[in-house]
Amino acid sequence: MRLEPIANPGILRRLGPPALAIAGSFLVASLLALIAGGNPFAVFGAILKGAAGSKFALLETLNRATPLIFTGLAVAVAFRARLWNIGAEAQLYAGAVVTVMLGTGALHWPSLPLLVVIGVTAMLAGALLLLIPALLKTRFGVDEVVTTLLFNFIFLLFVSYLLEGPLKDPMGMGWPKSARLIPEARLPRIIDGLRLHWGFVLALVSALVLWVINTRTTLGFEMRAVGQNAEAARFAGIPVTRVILKTALLSGGLAALAGFSEVAGLKGSLTLDLSPGYGYTGIVVAMLALLHPLGVVVAALFVAAIFVGADAMSRALGVPSYLADIMLASALLMMVLAILLSKFRVVRD
Amino acid sequence: MTERDQAQHPVLRLSNITKRFGALCANDDVSFSLAKGEVIALLGENGAGKTTLMNILFGQYSADAGEVEVFGQRLAPGNPRAALDAGVGMVHQHFTLAGNLTVWENIVLGTQALTAPRLRARAAKARIADLSKRFHLAVNPDAKVGQLSVGERQRVEILKALYRDARILILDEPTAVLTPQESEALFATLREAIGLGLSVVFISHKLHEVMAISHRVLVLRHGRLVAERATADTSREELAALMVGGAVSAPKIAPMPPGPALMRLNDVSSKGEGHAPGLQSVSLSLHGGQITGLAGVSGNGQGALSDLISGLAMPSAGQLEIAGEAITNWSPRRALARGIGRIPEDRHHTGTIADFDLTENAVLETYASDFARHGWLDWAAARAHAEALIATYDVRCPGPDTAIRLLSGGNMQKLILGRVLETKPRIILANQPVRGLDIGALNYVHSRLAEAREQGAAVLLISEDLDEIIALSDVIHVISQGRLSPPFARGTMAPEALGRWMAGDGFAEVAHAS
């Protein structure tokens, strides 16, 4: 048996992988739910209800999706250019640190300019954080998978130091926690009384902007060319190194916006548990979206719904909420397999 | 066994081997046999099907038709293990050694159970020492392979085959990476081997080696066995003619006075990549209205020269001049801006991006200069451009939205040609522009290049096909080991004479004379 490439995959084959991956993850989850003593239908019903069954649940899902859209976009833009950014987690925290540094009283400006300055500076911080591994890659050929991954640990330890030292809240009763943002530095809610902040809108706009960049600009074309075939791109005169560095800036900036939006929109201060691995989950989101910016929005909503729903389901049925992690993991594995099968067919010799 | 028996029972017999890769027929009904103690040379241009044939014999490919017999036994197709067990040893063009292991570990790798390699180290080393003495293959069994020279690595490969009791040795372009001295040592080993009753298939496109070592020569062209000669009854000149054939029908090249020198290389040297040599003090002028042909066996510095002209590399010494101006800052984009059109050697990996559609590939070099404003791409204009190229250059395809990997090589090349010629380049680098193309596409590419010449462009045509070079070129240079021969005007050189230069002979004479 061997794999043979398919010349021209039809629309069914192209939409197949995400559908198959999601179906597969449900299948695996059903089996595990049975083992855990729950009825799969009841479990999925409870997840759905928990994720979208009420206004509160729905808003919670949208809130949870917001950082995932940012990190998903960060990963998608990098992976499209074959820049393997595994460090969205660190870049997220870089954005959060900047938000806290500027938003807890260092600048006393009106809300809008303050938020713009904080957002842009946060993006710069995340961008610079990814620029280091990108430079190591283009200059010395250092594998960015390793460097970006290790940066996550280094940067989290750095944040831990900041929260125990310079950024520690004097009123925090000794907890490793930053001071709270001043009200002007908070992202307001979209509608009064509803727990959903403008970060969500910013995420949607970012997805749209990235989509436009990808399809309409020279940079988008260059990023894709470098990702598909760097040798041909270089031969054709595309400045490969510069494109990789620009991609890094864009990707790091987007991941940092996740930290900005979480701190300024939701939490109001920085703690070490700001992100339960949004940077890593962003990889799953980007892969499920086949690296398409608008797909990232859909995938992030799906992933957020599973997480939020699984918590509710766990409270209601007593089936562990780890099920959500397993569903995501299996969805990713199935996705990889399904992508392979959508491009190749199995031939018997 | 009497001699007569031996003739009737060859150690190796290939019967009617046919192998296709898609539309390409790599081997077409090839049959031959090999006697005990005989050296057969398999001669042919790149892409003639030599390596494919040997990979079938060694079981790496299975043939679509035909069979392989070793010592009278039919060999199971598609199984290298069966070939090894039957006594066939292959030394690949690209070595298959683990650099982090020692010589003896590499040699015994796969012959002993992995669980107890230490146990038989002493016996293995003794056997290796014996083999290396008998076959004059000096190599330290405890050295790490990663630290060996190329010649030493090849000796390890041969020892590996001998260690497995190979009775038939297949050597795929064994001298391609060797210095002349190392080649001589290899030949001594091979003579030793046939003296001990081994048989050898020697794949090469270097004529003097074939003449030096083989008993019989088989010539492959376009996958077919076109000639078989006893080495004693043939000559280099005859073999050269058989190898390149006479199938190329070229456009008429009317004589025309040469224009100004558009590009000059003054004593340019550059670094080679991997085993390929760089350039050694090469001086070359490309004149407008001329096709300059660069003949030579591939891997003799053509890559370095075309990288230089394409903008991918800078000279390490010497000067590159365009229209009289010395170049100090050089990149593919600058080369394009200076009016250099490039047709790369590898149209699949360098010339195009396989999953990009025709529109995207058509504007790959010009998207920024011609199809964008302030960073915004004008896809409508790009698409129109692609459609125009498709129509003008007769690219057969379903449309501009087709991924280019779905096109045949000829149509892919026509799109590249169109992409290059539409920019009205003053200098055109055409590196192996017709390799692998069918006759129709081949003629098309040639006549378009001839047209560009008539319009005053300077064309540098790099090819391994001597007939193509001779038919099209106003001036011919030969490249060998990174050195460039003096220019030969049209009609002054016979293929045989050029062949001697290609083999590196002429350079010696020049050096001698000076």
pLDDT at B504: 76
Which of B212, B244, B276 corresponds to the end of one domain? Answer: B244
pLDDT beyond 60 at A36 = yes
- Residue B364 maps to a domain: no
Cβ under 8 Å to B: A residues 245-284: none
Domain span at B151? 3-244
- Residue B370 maps to a domain: no
B325 and B448 share one domain: yes
Phi, psi of B55 (to 5 degrees): -70, -30
Alpha helix segments (H runs only) across B21-167:
50-57, 80-85, 103-108, 121-134, 150-163
Least confident of A332-341, B132-141, B374-383, B479-488: A332-341
**By percentage, how much of chain A surpasses pLDDT 70?**
94
Give strand pairing partners of B415.
none
Q: Report helix, strand or coil for B392.
A: helix
In tens, the pLDDT along A142-168 reads 999 999 999 999 999 999 999 998 888
Q: What is the mean pLDDT of residues A113-117?
A: 95
pLDDT at A171: 81
- Residue B405 maps to a domain: no
ipTM here:
0.87
pLDDT at A283: 94
Q: In this complex, do A221 and B331 lie within 8 Å of one another by their Cβ atoms? A: no
Q: Which residue of A has its CA nearest to B347?
A: A232
- Residue A62 maps to a domain: no
- Residue A84 maps to a domain: yes
Number of independent structural domains in chain A: 1
pLDDT beyond 50 at B101 = yes
pLDDT at A259: 97
Q: Report helix, strand or coil for B350.
A: helix
* Chain mean pLDDT for chain A: 90
Please indicate if any CB of chain B lies within 8 Å of the CB of A212. no
Please indicate if any CB of chain A lies within 8 Å of the CB of B360. yes
pLDDT at B96: 82
- Residue B325 maps to a domain: yes
- Residue A219 maps to a domain: yes
B189 and B269 share one domain: no
Q: What is the mean pLDDT of residues A297-304?
A: 94
Please indicate if any CB of chain A lies within 8 Å of the CB of B352. yes
pLDDT at B8: 55
B15 and B107 share one domain: yes
Domain span at A258? 69-290
- Residue A191 maps to a domain: yes
Dihedral (Cα; B309, B314, B316, B322), 10-degree rounding: 60
In tens, the pLDDT along B387-439 reads 999 999 988 888 899 889 888 778 899 999 999 999 999 999 999 998 767 66
Q: Which residue of A has its CA nearest to B344?
A: A235
Chain B neighbors of A347, CB-CB under 8 A: none
CATH of the domain at B340: 3.40.50.300
B141 and B268 share one domain: no
Q: In this complex, do A218 and B344 lie within 8 Å of one another by their Cβ atoms? A: no
B344 and B463 share one domain: yes
In tens, the pLDDT along B177-201 reads 666 667 788 888 889 889 888 999 9
Nearest to B365 among A7, A229, A236 (CB): A236
B328 and B468 share one domain: yes
- Residue A12 maps to a domain: no
B274 and B324 share one domain: yes
pLDDT at A205: 97
Chain A neighbors of B273, CB-CB under 8 A: none
**What number of C-beta contacts closer than 8 Å exist between A and B?**
64
In tens, the pLDDT along B276-312 reads 678 999 999 999 999 999 998 777 889 999 999 999 9
Nearest to A232 among B335, B353, B403 (CB): B353
Better pLDDT: A96 or B56 = A96
Number of independent structural domains in chain B: 2
- Residue A243 maps to a domain: yes
pLDDT at B514: 42
